[in-house]
Amino acid sequence: MIVIIDYDTGNTLNVKKALDYLNIDNQLSADPAEILAADGLILPGVGAFQKAMVALEERQLVPVLQQAAASGKPMLGICLGMQLLFETGYEFGITPGLGLLPGVVVPIPSKPGFKVPHMGWNQNQAQQQNPFAAVFDQENTYFVHSYYVQTAAKNIVATTDYSVAIPSIVQRNNVVGMQFHPEKSGQVGLAGLTAFKEMVNDARVPRN
Amino acid sequence: MLTKRIIPCLDVDHGRVKKGVNFVNLTDVGDPTEIARAYEAQGADELVFLDITATNEKRKAIVDTIASVASQVFMPLTVGGGVNTVADMQALLKAGADKVALNSAAVANPDLIRQGAEKFGAQCIVVAIDVRYQASQDRYQVVVNGGRKPVDLDALEWAQTAVAAGAGELLVTSMDKDGTKSGFDLPLYQALTQVVDVPIVASGGCGAIADFTNLFEETQVDAGLAASVFHFGELTIPQVKATLKAKGVTVR
């Protein structure tokens, strides 16, 4: 069972629709017991960093998500949900994030020819080899965001070029983030969600 | 590089696509979900649904349509036509729309743009502007009510007002060009991209592949929208994209 964290953000239902379409067992929940019992977690998110952290705090989910990540449970953050995995957001002031991955979230630099938000289909370039890179390398996915993550190269699975190299997929151990919307990126996006399901399945099977 | 987007537009009446779509392999030429799936397979970058239902069940029908499409088709969906209130926007976004397009209601009450942007984020709020060249004043004039009613508003000024209020994208239709198949209104889009910095979707006049090529070579718009040329199979999205790619335009 994959639990989609339900904290009143925009794309939650579209993530659910995509998992339903793929016949991936899932439910929406903000209940700590259900979250900690899940095989894998998806943290969706659309909107502003600070408001989203407040919404998680109001539901007392910050320590729950930190505990789940520390236990090795596979976790996928999508769009703003990916940004929340990091230490600090610089949107409307300085806001601490979940701190599951090292790094910060800063504005996309405004340059001529590069409108902000970065909205539309852009291509991913793999920066290392792993199952998510295998799905998304050279593929276009759908982005909508005004801020981006800065983190160490070892955490960056793929980037997309938009005046700067924007980390489009990040991963450290069990924690994965996608800056684009896999639930809105057509067949390749669905393949990415399937890759996450396989990661969840692999984590659930005890290994010798 | 961000790709230029090619967007088919579907007119929906009581949950049915109004002008039948003439693809092979469609069992139901009026079914929005089936048509959306076919366009996704062709490589459309986004779909715009324009609700033209003229009755009181309007809102419910389009919300049901979008919910159905969004459960089967996983690409960006924009919905316009009679979006009049924040509640209308919320219902559509919750059903699975990614963006809502405000038109006449925003002209009547520009604060609606701000309310939507504050609640859902500017990236969700498209302002659709129908324009007609007004020779007597040498300006582009805004027209509302489905292009029937001219208002005393300069389209370039209105575009700036809408963006200042929170519009994250503009969908601009040239009523002079719409239905003519004589190409997009390039001077209009050249003027618009000088005054606003949000993405612009150009609409009206597309009749041939060269119209898309001209649009992206001659203007800085982000997307081109067309309806009948795609619906009736006169152009296919793969053809358009292959030509654009050969001309050096970045497409998906």
pLDDT at site B57: 67
CATH of the domain at B29: 3.20.20.70
> Which of B1, B123, B124 faces A161 most closely, judged by CB atoms?
B1
CATH of the domain at A171: 3.40.50.880
Is B251 contained in some domain?
Answer: no
Instruction: Say yes or no: B98 contacts chain A, CB-CB below 8 A.
Output: yes
Q: Which residue has the higher pLDDT, B148 or B243?
A: B243
**Peptide bond connecting A117 to the previous residue in cis, omega within 30 degrees of 0:** yes
Residue B35 phi, psi dihedral angles, 5° rounding: -65, -40
Is B230 contained in some domain?
Answer: yes
The structure tokens listed for A136 are 């998304």
Nearest Cα residue to A179 out of A143, A130, A131, A128: A143
ipTM for the assembly: 0.92
Residue A207 has pLDDT above 60, yes or no: no
The tally of domains found in chain A comes to: 1
Separation of CA A144 from chain center: 13
B134-143 CB contacts, 8 Å cutoff, 24+ apart: B140/B188, B140/B191, B142/B107, B143/B175
H-helix or E-strand spanning residue B240: helix B237-246
Which amino acid is located at B145 in the chain? Answer: N
Check A79, A91, A118, A139 and give the catalytic one. A79
**Separation CA A148–CA A169 (nearest Å):** 11
Categorize the per-residue pLDDT at A112 as very low, low, confident or very high, splitting at 50, 70 and 90. Answer: confident
Mean model confidence pLDDT for chain A: 94
Please answer yes or no on whether B5 and A121 come within 8 Å at the CB atom: yes
Is B187 contained in some domain?
Answer: yes
Please answer yes or no on whether A140 and B3 come within 8 Å at the CB atom: yes
Full domain range(s) for residue A161? 2-204
Categorize the per-residue pLDDT at A9 as very low, low, confident or very high, splitting at 50, 70 and 90. Answer: confident
In the predicted model, what is the mean pLDDT of residues B101-128?
A: 94
CB of A149 closer than 8 Å to CB of A47: no
Strand order in the sheet with A2-5: A26-29, A2-5, A40-43, A75-78, A175-178, A164-172, A156-162, A118-126, A140-145
* Residues of B in Cβ contact (< 8 Å) with A186: 40, 74-75
The pLDDT tens digits of the residues spanning B148-174 come to: 899 999 999 999 999 999 999 999 999
Task: Report the length, in residues, of chain B.
Answer: 252
Strand order in the sheet with A95-96: A95-96, A88-89, A104-107, A147-150
Q: Is A79 a catalytic residue?
A: yes
In the predicted model, what is the mean pLDDT of residues A27-43?
A: 97
Full domain range(s) for residue B200? 5-246
The tally of domains found in chain B comes to: 1
The pLDDT tens digits of the residues spanning B7-62 come to: 999 999 989 988 767 666 666 778 999 999 999 999 999 999 999 887 666 678 89
A55-59 CB contacts, 8 Å cutoff, 24+ apart: A55/A7, A55/A8, A55/A9, A56/A5, A56/A7, A56/A84, A56/A98, A59/A7, A59/A30
* Residues of A in Cβ contact (< 8 Å) with B168: 117, 119
Candidate from A42-46, B50-54, B68-72, B113-117 with smallest mean pLDDT? B50-54
The pLDDT tens digits of the residues spanning B121-146 come to: 888 999 999 999 999 999 999 999 88
Residue A208 has pLDDT above 50, yes or no: no
Residue B92: left if φ>0, alpha if ψ -120 to 50, beta else—which one? Answer: alpha
* Residues of B in Cβ contact (< 8 Å) with A47: 121
| Alpha helical stretches, state H, B146-231 | 155-165, 186-195, 209-218, 228-231
Is B127 contained in some domain?
Answer: yes
Residue A164 has pLDDT above 50, yes or no: yes
Check B13, B88, B130, B211 and give the catalytic one. B130
> Which of B72, B74, B169 faces A189 most closely, judged by CB atoms?
B74
